[in-house]
Structure 1
């Protein structure tokens, strides 16, 4: 499968998400109750649900998208480059709509497949769910509710699922696989656990965007490694 994959037909994605509100106490009473119900089986030692609110960003019902980065591989003079564009806006609906508009343009240019790490369980459904919440029409490639796995396997690529080799119990982070395959990643940046702080407290969306873009390149390089090809150095990343 991967041997015959044309890497230049793939659009690589990464999203960054945060809780809907900066703090648990910023939620109204109904949403606090809903969060407590969501966390009822994860609370230990009678801790209140509010101590787990920093996890809210990973749930599409309680979080929101603050950045989507999308990039693709191209060749110039026999060398691979990675061109990436990011979509971010305080208005989540506008962010998603702008990304979908670009997604349609990418499709017309031959980028007919999407790839993300853990995309099957996180990025793809999260984008689709937040689009529905914001009343944004889904593009065909993400309008997959109820679709069978074999119906979308040629459209949506997940580097985590590829690494699982059918093992449903096994989760491996992108950072671990990058270390395993000697894929260079920046050491002076934030990690996913700091995104909410960067967004709500430090108001540093630029740093979040840079982090998202570099993760997108990391996903592309991981897929290149799976194919047995050379990776793209970070200096060959072009930001649109």
Structure 2
């Protein structure tokens, strides 16, 4: 079935998230209490709510998006290319820019969003942060009333599960077993918060995010038993 999809109709994406505030102390007292309540089941007893706050970026209620990277295939005169771009900066602005992309270029019924673990993380995180900022949801993120087979989302983690819902495989592991060059050659997800708040190096985060997008596209090509992308086919725009 995946071979029947037209690659040009798929928007590959990845997001990087960080805690909404630099430190726990920057939260209001009410938000500190809410964080304590929210995180108590995930953190071990030796972690206080404050000590655990570095991980707040994985929850849309306590985190924010630092970067959205997207990529898509083009085919011109028989030559394949993969164009990639990123949205960075203030969260409201990058969400508006990403929403505009979906509303103007990836809104048709045949268009699909693709991410690794996207159904559990990227897609709902994007939708929740848009609602928090008072933005209208693009049709590709508005799932209300849609039947499961009408949801325009493709998830490489779900594809790899083959129905085994107990199984989790990281993108790093999946690319390794499929013989795809690993995207994790600089930082990993646990370091994004420090790179953002301590180093202030958003471009380093963007580079990391874009490598994930390329890796996701490579996984789809592997599933389709097609040649992997080479550097000359990847265009940054």
Q: What TM bracket, shorter-length normalisation?
A: over 0.9
The equivalent of 2:221 in structure 1 is 224
Matched, 1:124 2:123: yes
Once the 2 structures are TM-superposed, how far is the Cα of residue 77 of structure 1 from its aligned partner? 5.3
Is the 2:114–2:155 contact (alpha carbons within 8 Å) kept by the matching residues of 1? Answer: yes
What is the rounded CA distance, in whole Å, between the counterparts of 1:36 and 1:173 in structure 2? 28
Once the 2 structures are TM-superposed, how far is the Cα of residue 121 of structure 1 from its aligned partner? 0.6
What is the rounded CA distance, in whole Å, between the counterparts of 2:158 and 2:34 in structure 1? 31
Where in structure 2 are the equivalents of 1:19-168 lying within 5 Å?
A: 19-76=19-76, 78-90=78-90, 92-107=91-106, 112-145=111-144, 147-152=146-151, 155-168=152-165
The equivalent of 2:16 in structure 1 is 16
Q: List alignment gaps of at least 5 residues for structure 2.
A: none
State the SS of the aligned residue for 1:229.
coil
State the SS of the aligned residue for 1:214.
helix
Is the 1:10–1:114 contact (alpha carbons within 8 Å) kept by the matching residues of 2? Answer: yes
Is the 1:8–1:111 contact (alpha carbons within 8 Å) kept by the matching residues of 2? Answer: no
Deviations 1:65-91 (A, max 9, x none): 11111110123554432101111122x
Q: List alignment gaps of at least 5 residues for structure 1.
A: none
Q: Give TM-score, length-normalised by structure 2.
A: 0.94
Is the 2:116–2:216 contact (alpha carbons within 8 Å) kept by the matching residues of 1? Answer: yes
State the SS of the aligned residue for 1:208.
helix
Once the 2 structures are TM-superposed, how far is the Cα of residue 108 of structure 1 from its aligned partner? 6.3
Once the 2 structures are TM-superposed, how far is the Cα of residue 24 of structure 1 from its aligned partner? 1.4
Once the 2 structures are TM-superposed, how far is the Cα of residue 228 of structure 1 from its aligned partner? 0.9
Number of residue pairs the alignment of both structures matches: 237
Q: RMSD of the TM alignment (CA)? A: 1.8
Residue 9 to residue 63, structure 1, CA distance change in 2 (3 Å): same
What is the rounded CA distance, in whole Å, between the counterparts of 1:150 and 1:110 in structure 2? 12
Stretch moving more, 57-66 or 102-111? 102-111
Stretch moving more, 140-149 or 219-228? 140-149
Q: Give TM-score, length-normalised by structure 1.
A: 0.92
Deviations 1:163-197 (A, max 9, x none): 11111111100010000111113454211111111
What is the rounded CA distance, in whole Å, between the counterparts of 1:187 and 1:47 in structure 2? 28
